[in-house]
Amino acid sequence: MSILSVVVICGILMIASLLVVSFVNRQHTRKRVVTHKIWELRRRINELEEVAAAIEPLVESPIIPKAINDEIIDLIHTVTGLDPSIVYLESNLRTAQALSAAYMEQTAPSVLYRVQPSDAAIARAQHYLQEAGRIVRSQQIAGRIDGMEMDQFIRELGWAHLMVEVLSHIGQGHKALARSDVLSAYGYYRNAINKLMTSTVTDERKHRLIREVSEILQNKRKAISLDLMPESNLNPGANTPDLPIQGI
């Protein structure tokens, strides 16, 4: 074998080795990218599951939780498309599909309850509602929902955001009145009406609620109408003391 042949063979072997190394590196890089992408998607799935569960008792219809739940289903399919060997999300998928069907039939087991026990709980609930708003806007940008649907969802989320704070203040007022702490009760009701009057939410129910909270402050009623505040478990009894009249 001539020296030239040896050189050619060595060159071919070297090129082949470089190609093999390059292929292996590309495979490893792709695997790392896919693994990281799957990790990000799993984290997002967990976040969306948390948001959907948190806002379910805060909004009046199942439409928004269903929209978030449908996104969870899409993300799970994306994960299994990236790695078909993944089976640990099967239970998440079954749960999400069952919930989606229940939301579609409006038979999802949810009870509207927006009264929160503390300022920290109010902030946490409002954070979830704000996150739901961001999700809704991203879905509209992605073409999953249209502009009218987004506007409807944002209006409902805005009302829920307001009600979490207002009804929580009213609930705290009811609790204070039940223990005959009329000054604290007056302060909570006053905070509720101030929040309503300074809010930019345009829901027509706001004016009725302002009027009814004003009537509580004037000792003309003890509780809010059930269609506005079905969270009636804290409603004061008939024998609770009157509030001090300080002007509205």
Residue 147 lies in a domain: yes
Residue 27 lies in a domain: no
The parent domain of residue 160 ranges over 118-248
Residue 136 lies in a domain: yes
Give the model's pLDDT for residue 2: 67
Which residues have CB under 8 Å from 113's CB, separation 6+? 57, 58, 231
Ordered mean pLDDT values, 10 residues apiece, the chain (248 residues)? 62 64 62 81 93 94 90 92 84 89 70 94 97 93 90 95 98 95 96 96 95 96 95 91 74
Q: Residue 235, Cβ neighbours under 10 Å: how many?
A: 17
Helix, strand, coil percentages, rounded to 5, for the chain: 70, 0, 30
Buried residues in 54-63 as b, exposed as e (16+ CB within 10 A): bbbebbeebb
Q: Are 213 and 196 in contact (CB under 8 A)?
A: yes
Residue 188 lies in a domain: yes
Give the model's pLDDT for residue 101: 86
Residue 173 lies in a domain: yes
**Taking every pair of C-alpha atoms in the chain, what is the biggest distance, in angstroms?**
113
Residue 133, token pair as written in the block: 């708003």
Of 135, 1, 117, 119, the closest CA to residue 55 belongs to 135
Residue 59 lies in a domain: no
* Rounded Cα–Cα distance for residues 9 and 13 (Å): 6
Residue 171 lies in a domain: yes
Give the model's pLDDT for residue 105: 80
Domain tally, the chain: 1
Give the model's pLDDT for residue 107: 55
Residue 210 lies in a domain: yes
